Amino acid sequence: MPDIESLLKEKRTFKPSPEFSRQANWNKRTTNEYRKLGAKNPTRFWAKMARENVEWFTPWKKVLDWKPPFAKWFVGAKTNVSYNCLDRHLEGENAWRRNKAAIIWEGEPGDSRVLTYAELHREVCRFANVLKARGVKKGDRVCLYMPMIPELAIAMLACSRIGAPHSIVFGGFSAEALADRINDAQAKLVVTADGGYRKGTAFALKTTVDAALEKTPCVETTIVVKRTGEPVAFRSGRDLWWHEVMADASTRCPAAKLDAEHPLFILYTSGTTGNPKGILHTTGGYLTHVTTTFKAIFDIKDEDVYWCTADIGWITGHSYVVYGPLSNGATTVMYEGTPTHPGPDRWWSLIEKWGISIFYTAPTAIRTFIRLGDELPKAHDLSSLRLLGTVGEPINPEAWMWYHRVIGRRRCPIVDTWWQTETGGIMISAIPGAVETKPGSATLPFPGIHADIFDEEGKAVKGEGGGFLVVTHPWPGMLRGIWGDKKRYKETYWGKYKDTYFAGDGAHRDKAGYFWIMGRIDDVMNISGHRIGTMEVESALVSSPDVAEAAVVGRPDEITGTAIVAFVSPKDTAKPGPDLVDRLKRHVAQEIGAIARPAEIRFTNALPKTRSGKIMRRLLRDIASGREVAGDTSTLEDFSVLARLRESEED
Ligand code: PRX
């Protein structure tokens, strides 16, 4: 978490250059005008955006129906996300885009594919027909567990074309995690691949699906893309090859006319309990939000080549690799593999090779590259770049400056974009041709977004000050619920303050009204920009026969932002030591996925608790971040003295 004292000393500011502002989609004047309208009348602002940026089959009767905490946007309207991402670029005055690159894809081994809008449209129609032929109907859930290959985008757009909500599970999640998500959403069909490439080797996906499907009676069909050619087991009657079912599928499939509130996708994210939440997004509002923010914040032009490095398995990939860019008719780049393969300059060579002009990535990646040195990016021609973005976690001003100097060559504006899986699209960000930036600040809320800072009692902090980040008016891309759990939706997001969305982040606002995001204030860790709940890791640990009790905290880490530290109290029968450390780390990776693997496991005979039995996390956090330990601690720690010292304070 950045230190507020040092952040507030940050005085550097960067004005948009006149050249950038002159050509910007939103200049100062438009931005100010929209800001005024959005502040006074957010529904009128969003209705204007919906009319200008999205195509509708039937207009709405009412812009917003708000019965807190349930919102409906564009009530009565009909549209289709796949239609907006494809068909509208093939007709009328946009017909020239038929042969424009929609997706430029590069595989880790160096193979590549370019799909034009017309080609992508054909593939999507064919796969939509395949889904229909397998009995997938409007409203049925489809799970996508795939590597970063074009078929993933094709499958998403095919689902949205027929109104079958997709649930994408990041390929790094384990069989257990996949099975839980499939069952929670009751998915009927799973799309996967034999595997994908990472760090120079093929990893398997179908075998993980096979293991998960032992526990998921709801799944009737799996469709498998051949990517690596590694042998896979096939169950007849259930498993089908993508290339075989696609071979004779028709390339005509009209986009379903869907209600604006028809479910578009479910995406699972971590919360403060052991079970991930299925965040639900719907059609018209989400589409309006991502299309508008993409156009304004990424300043997209038809000549641009845009690359967002996120995996599509996360919200950033949904909104700003696929839906936002394609709905704007942009060229979006997808890269399959690791940033440092085969050499540590792979990303910079990709920028040079494809002439990328807009680049969007995470601070954790920037910090990794800082460590690798300036020579790697300097050895490449990055002159095609004109705009940079960051997302996922707070960026420290020095990393921002490096990004500005070494990647942007002091020429490119940087948009630091704050948002969440739940918000659907960007909420706080600079508009590059209009807003002066400050390293480390996400700057100002997007027009029409009523972000604010509240104190513990729910009073708005006036002017400069810190507190909890909230949103006081509904917005079109907001989550519509947690799949199958209304109560949790109400309590998590709307329970702390009346009719106000509680984001779970701490924030500070400076004199100029700029937001400085301080990070999570709940028991959710941000590991390399990805959310992992401490409770999830704890329940994975206690499911091991060797563990009596576990408490998990985050500690600051120079590269990943946060590293996971687990305090484990072993059962009497267990033998704490390096072997058990290894076993437990592997166990967590197996239960959740490699991203949740603890960096450190420390054994203790008892966890420090308050009199009322609450684990003293603050104490554990201090211990985890304060004391240098060489590798894993395999001896038992005794917290009793420290715990007694802190007891009164924590109770
Ligand atoms: O803590 C904030 C952090 O990421 C959380 C949301 O995580 P997730 O739903 O996985 O979505 C990440 C990508 C949108 C937030 O609660 N976060 C996201 N963007 C920023 C950020 N923290 C600081 N600055 C940001 N720009």
Give the Å distance between the CA of 394 and the centre of ligand 1.
Answer: 8
pLDDT at position 376 is 96
pLDDT above 70 (res 632)? no
pLDDT above 80 (res 629)? no
User: Can you give 78-146 as a three-state secondary structure string?
Assistant: EECHHHHHCHHHCCHHHHHHHHCEEEEEECCCCCEEEEEHHHHHHHHHHHHHHHHHCCCCCCCCEEECC
Q: Tell me the per-residue pLDDT of 535-545, one tens digit each, with 9 for 90 and over.
A: 899 989 999 99
**Ligand 1 in contact with 561 (CB < 6 A)?**
no
Average pLDDT, integer, range 29-40: 98
Average pLDDT, integer, range 567-594: 94
Average pLDDT, integer, range 415-423: 98
* Protein residue whose Cα sits closest to atom 5 of ligand 1: 420
pLDDT at position 640 is 63
For ligand 1, what atom is nearest to the CA of residue 314?
A: 10
Delimit the domains of the chain by residue range: 1-80+283-518, 524-647
pLDDT above 60 (res 1)? no
pLDDT at position 501 is 98
Average pLDDT, integer, range 323-344: 97
Closest CA to 191 of 161, 215, 163, 227: 227
Average pLDDT, integer, range 396-410: 96
The share of the chain scoring above pLDDT 70, in percent, equals: 95
Write the single-letter amino acid at 622.
D
Name the pTM for this structure.
Answer: 0.94
With the most atoms of ligand 1 within 8 angstroms of its CB, the residue from 393, 416, 528 to mutate is 393
Q: Tell me the per-residue pLDDT of 338-397, one tens digit each, with 9 for 90 and over.
A: 999 999 999 999 999 999 999 999 999 999 999 999 999 999 999 999 999 999 999 999
Is the model more confident about 185 or about 627? 185
DSSP assignment of 207-266: HHHHHHHTT-TT--EEEEE-SS-------TTTEEEHHHHHHT--S--PPP-EETTSEEEE
pLDDT above 70 (res 618)? yes
Average pLDDT, integer, range 442-456: 97
pLDDT band at 622 (very low <50, low <70, confident <90, very high): confident
pLDDT at position 7 is 74
CATH 3.30.990.10, domain 1-80+283-518, yes or no: no
Give the Å distance between the CA of 584 and the centre of ligand 1.
Answer: 28
Q: Average model confidence (pLDDT) for the chain?
A: 94
Q: Which CATH entry fits the domain spanning 524-647: 3.60.60.10, 2.60.40.290, 3.40.50.10190, 3.30.300.30?
A: 3.30.300.30
pLDDT above 50 (res 552)? yes
pLDDT at position 3 is 64
How many Cβ atoms sit within 10 Å of the Cβ of residue 194? 21
Give the Å distance between the CA of 316 and the centre of ligand 1.
Answer: 10
pLDDT at position 635 is 53
Query: Cβ(220)–Cβ(135) under 8 Å?
Result: yes
Give the Å distance between the CA of 503 and the centre of ligand 1.
Answer: 10
pLDDT above 50 (res 262)? yes
**Ligand 1 in contact with 519 (CB < 6 A)?**
yes
Query: Cβ(435)–Cβ(26) under 8 Å?
Result: no
pLDDT above 90 (res 466)? yes
Give the Å distance between the CA of 292 and the centre of ligand 1.
Answer: 19
Do 1-80+283-518 and 524-647 come out as alike in CATH topology? no
* Protein residue whose Cα sits closest to atom 18 of ligand 1: 392
- Tokens 């995996």 label which residue? 311
Q: Tell me the per-residue pLDDT of 276-307, one tens digit each, with 9 for 90 and over.
A: 999 999 999 999 999 999 999 999 999 999 99
Query: Cβ(258)–Cβ(79) under 8 Å?
Result: yes
